[in-house]
Amino acid sequence: MEDLRSTPVSDDPVQRRDLILLEQARSGDLDSFNDLVELYQDQLFALVVRMVPDRDQAADVVQEGFFSAFRNLHSFRGGSVKAWLSRICVNAAMDTQRARKRRPVQPYPELEDDSWQPPAGDEADPERTAVLAERTRALNRALASITDDQRAAIVLYDIEGYDYAEIADMTGVSLGTVKSRIHRGRLALRDRLEGRMELFRG
Amino acid sequence: MDEPDATMDTARHATHDRELVAALIDRELTGSERERARALVDACTACATLHDDLRTLAVAARDLPVPARPRDFMLSPADAERLRPTLIRRLLGAIGTSRDAVSRPLAMGLTTLGLAGLLVATVPSALQMGGATSAVLSPVGESIDIDGGEPYSLSAAPGDGAPASVAPARVNAGPDEAPAAGAGEDDGEPAAQEFGRDTAAEPGGDRPEVALAPDPTGISTLVVVSGSLFIIGLGLFALRWTARRFGG
């Protein structure tokens, strides 16, 4: 059994709290593990649902990610607990993407669903709300139409804010491949939105 | 085109490195690459538009709304019981950690040792077998005729731990030639030579038929041990890969 005391203790209070919860979970305290779940389930679902734009599949992926994390508590190697959980969920999401590739189905039909639209406030301008909704729909559709690898790279870099090296570590590819996926993915997005860019420039 | 000037015709935009422009919005583009990308954007209006669009899309992607999660992901006590780490999982976890300094060199050592053992067991004996047989006999298993007459068969026999090609041999001949076989077993000389000498002395011997077979025991010990080491080493590599892949 690895000993967390041998991992460098962070000055960051959030990381310190996470490490304490993780250590307690390792010693068999389920409540501590569930505290971690509660802390990160929204962020992890947001990450995964952008990679696998299907709510039910994304929920299954996140659940499987937490199962896997619990099974492998002893293999945590220090560092950020959030990054460790993200890595597990990203791997699970990529496995799901691979499985989808083997059994091609309608690519993410539920993107037309209202749950993907920004919430409209009471005082919101209806015209602006409509533009925002259209923009969201167009971007979601474009994101869903690029390759899984490009989408994962863009989500991790542009949306989640991980750097090249962290993404390379998470996805198990070289730094050069990560850069290429990000850059080509952006260009692919823009090509798919050619003619609709006015929605975004306004 | 690395250093486009300000008068560059935007009609040539198609020849520009779009990926470089896409990289310009990264925080991590440095040095000469950043300068080259900046020069493209400054000199070509289409590149500048592309750059602005990509930046706008990156911001829009960050602001995309996310649907609420459909359920809670907390583990129940039953889940926890089902998922509780077993001894094997703990072992896999230990192997998969970066602090495991043993399994990789051990796996490399075992596979190298096994491979070396397999080479030692097979290559020299194959070479010697080829040399011995080509010197006196035809290729292994082929019949040869010596002076015509009774068919002879020669096979390597266990003994003295010598490699198959030089192991003491037993010459099976007709009932009258029994002593020739005994000589081969006692002094451990190469079978082919023994056979050559003895049969040459046969008075008026007929055409013996000879077949040489490898000594199964001499080879198998080294091959089995080396093969086992090789397989264990490969298994350890596979275990490491599994632990790293699924160990979280």
* Secondary structure in 3-state letters for B67-133: CCCCCCCCCCHHHHHHHCCCHHHHHHHHHHCCCCCCHHHHHHHHHHHHHHHHHHHHHHHHHHHHHHH
The answer to whether residue A113 scores a pLDDT higher than 80 is no
| B31 vs B182, higher pLDDT | B31
Please indicate if any CB of chain B lies within 8 Å of the CB of A193.
yes
Please list, in sequence order, all residues whose beta carbon lies within 8 angstroms of the beta carbon of residue A88, skipping any fewer than 6 positions away. A65, A68, A69, A72, B248
Please indicate if any CB of chain B lies within 8 Å of the CB of A13.
no
Q: What is the pLDDT of residues A154-199, one digit of tens each?
A: 999 988 889 899 999 888 899 999 999 999 999 999 999 988 888 8
Average of pLDDT values for B238-244?
Answer: 78
Alpha-carbon span B80 to A30, nearest angstrom = 7
pLDDT grade, residue B185 (50/70/90)?
Answer: very low
CB B103 within 8 A of CB A66: no
SS3 B158: coil
- Chain B CB contacts of A74 under 8 Å are 85, 89-90, 93-94
Alpha-carbon span B51 to B67, nearest angstrom = 30
**DSSP conformational letter for A6:** G
Alpha-carbon span B167 to B156, nearest angstrom = 6
Average of pLDDT values for A4-28?
Answer: 81
H-type alpha helices, chain A: 13-26, 30-51, 55-71, 81-102, 126-145, 148-154, 164-171, 175-192, 198-201
Per the structure block, which two tokens stand in for B230? Answer: 């090789």
Q: Is domain A108-202 annotated with CATH 1.10.490.10? A: no
Measured over the CA atoms of residue A13, residue A157, residue A43 and residue A98, the dihedral's sign is negative
Considering only the beta carbons, identify the residue of A33, A119, A190 that sits closest to B50: A190
The answer to whether residue A143 scores a pLDDT higher than 70 is yes
For residue B240, give the amino acid letter. Answer: R
- Chain A CB contacts of B103 under 8 Å are none
Residue found by looking up tokens 């730094």 in the block: A175
At A126 the pLDDT is: 81
Q: Is domain A1-105 annotated with CATH 1.10.1740.10? A: yes
- Chain A CB contacts of B26 under 8 Å are 157, 179, 182
The answer to whether residue B2 scores a pLDDT higher than 80 is no
The answer to whether residue B65 scores a pLDDT higher than 60 is yes
Which among A26, A142, A138 is positioned nearest to A77, based on CA atoms?
A: A26
Which among A81, A85, A89 is positioned nearest to A13, based on CA atoms?
A: A81
Is residue B156 within a helix (H) or strand (E), and if so which, with residue range? strand B153-156
At B68 the pLDDT is: 86
| A128 vs B94, higher pLDDT | A128
Measure in Å the smallest separation between the Cα of A36 and chain B Cα atoms.
9
Average of pLDDT values for A16-31?
Answer: 94
Alpha-carbon span A118 to A122, nearest angstrom = 13
pLDDT grade, residue B144 (50/70/90)?
Answer: very low
Considering only the beta carbons, identify the residue of A154, A163, A190 that sits closest to B28: A163
pLDDT grade, residue B228 (50/70/90)?
Answer: very high
Our CA angle for A48, A94, B82, nearest 5°, is 80
The strand pairing partners of B154, in sequence order, are B171
The strand pairing partners of B190, in sequence order, are B168
CB pairs < 8 Å spanning A and B: 147
Per the structure block, which two tokens stand in for A37? Answer: 């779940």
The answer to whether residue B136 scores a pLDDT higher than 50 is no
Mean pLDDT of chain A: 85
At A37 the pLDDT is: 97
Residue found by looking up tokens 């000993």 in the block: A3
Burial group, residue A186, by CB count within 10 angstroms (0-12, 13-18, 19+): buried
Query: Domain-by-domain residue ranges, chain B?
Result: 10-62, 137-216
CB B167 within 8 A of CB B192: no
The answer to whether residue B184 scores a pLDDT higher than 50 is no
Alpha-carbon span B186 to B192, nearest angstrom = 15
Q: Are A74 and B89 in contact (CB < 8 Å)? A: yes
Range from A71-75, B45-49, B108-112, B124-128 carrying the lowest mean pLDDT: B124-128
Considering only the beta carbons, identify the residue of B19, B54, B96 that sits closest to A75: B96
At B200 the pLDDT is: 43
For residue A49, give the amino acid letter. Answer: V
Measured over the CA atoms of residue B153, residue B158, residue B162 and residue B164, the dihedral's sign is positive
At A104 the pLDDT is: 57
The strand pairing partners of B168, in sequence order, are B190
Cα-to-chain-centroid distance, residue B177: 49
Please indicate if any CB of chain B lies within 8 Å of the CB of A63.
yes
For residue B154, give the amino acid letter. Answer: L
Average of pLDDT values for A120-140?
Answer: 80
Please list, in sequence order, all residues whose beta carbon lies within 8 angstroms of the beta carbon of residue B245, skipping any fewer than 6 positions away. none
The answer to whether residue B197 scores a pLDDT higher than 70 is no
Alpha-carbon span B1 to B37, nearest angstrom = 11
Please indicate if any CB of chain B lies within 8 Å of the CB of A45.
yes
